[in-house]
Homo-oligomer: A and B are copies of this chain.
């Protein structure tokens, strides 16, 4: 395994294989442009539970069970779980995954957590410390709105810069061997916290775009690459406003990624018919789009190499109400076709 010097990236000389994955989403996501690709679409936003948090736990539980089932594995075949969600104290993960009875590393990188879990999972597998790990993240529109913004019953107006938190969970099995593999992870670029001074909790795209730009620039520098070295550069949930900012920021640094650029949050909803404003967001957004849609493009060899870059806004109602800005972070993962 090559360790790159003086920067933020790792190139895995021993690549990590993505054996299988699963996606489960809510009704609204199941009515969007990617509907045909998801493994499971739930009709009931409560997923048979008594509250939003338990519903989100159920999403994680079902995504893991489904990923294991698709791969023909059981929890005994998994060595570690790398998991996280948006809720305080990661309760969606804690209560959703305890039945798996597996050693667990709880992670928080806001909506970038899918990238963080794939990064740490890859380090652990490529380093020879695990044959197989499970990486899972989730978000739920209602549990997120309740925690971060307003009670749903209040019916607040949403500005056009707002994003719609995706109800969904994506689970990924990483393996040290290529058996049944769907794609491989060949490198990561880990994000720093970047504070652009954004104080608008309804404009997360602006809070995250500078962090995404920083990781993309680090990735280009560390791997001596240019935008054309990737078939796609795909952020997690910048939305339409963050998209413009990111492309403009990188142009000032001499890189034009507009040809390669894609955003999971922009792909998952139709803003006109679904009233989702700037796009989808949340830990679950990038996870379900990777599992359901992006991986298909790598499996079919339509794409050879992508930079997958879940983006997170470190929004906290406590720090926000104390007058602080919303810093951003992003975690880049390089995925390649086999």
CB distance A192 to B101 under 8 Å?
yes
By a CB distance below 8 angstroms, the chain B residues around A10 are: 129
Contacts of A8 in B (CB 8 A): 103
Give which listed residue, B3, B127, B147, B193, contacts A94 with CB less than 8 A.
B193
**Residue A124 at the B interface, CB < 8 A?**
yes
Q: Using Cβ atoms and an 8 Å threshold, which residues of chain B touch A153?
A: none
Contact check, B98 vs A105: say whether CB atoms are below 8 A apart: no
Cβ contacts A101-119/B at 8 Å (1 or 0 each): 1111111111000001001
CA distance A255 to B10 in the complex (A): 43
Whether A89 is near chain B, meaning CB under 8 Å from some CB there, is yes
Beta-carbon contact of B104 and A192 below 8 Å: yes
Contact with B along A294-326 (1 / 0, CB 8 A): 000000000000000000001111110010100
Which partner residue on chain B sits nearest A109 by CB separation? B106
Check A314/B89 contact, CB under 8 A, given A95-B327, A322-B51. yes
Query: Is the C-beta of A205 less than 8 angstroms from some C-beta in chain B?
Result: no
- When the two chains form their complex, are residues B108 and A84 in contact, meaning their CB atoms are under 8 A apart? yes
CB atoms of B105 and A193 under 8 A apart = no
- What are 6 A-to-B residue pairs whose CB atoms are below 8 Å? A3-B131, A53-B318, A53-B322, A106-B107, A107-B108, A127-B129
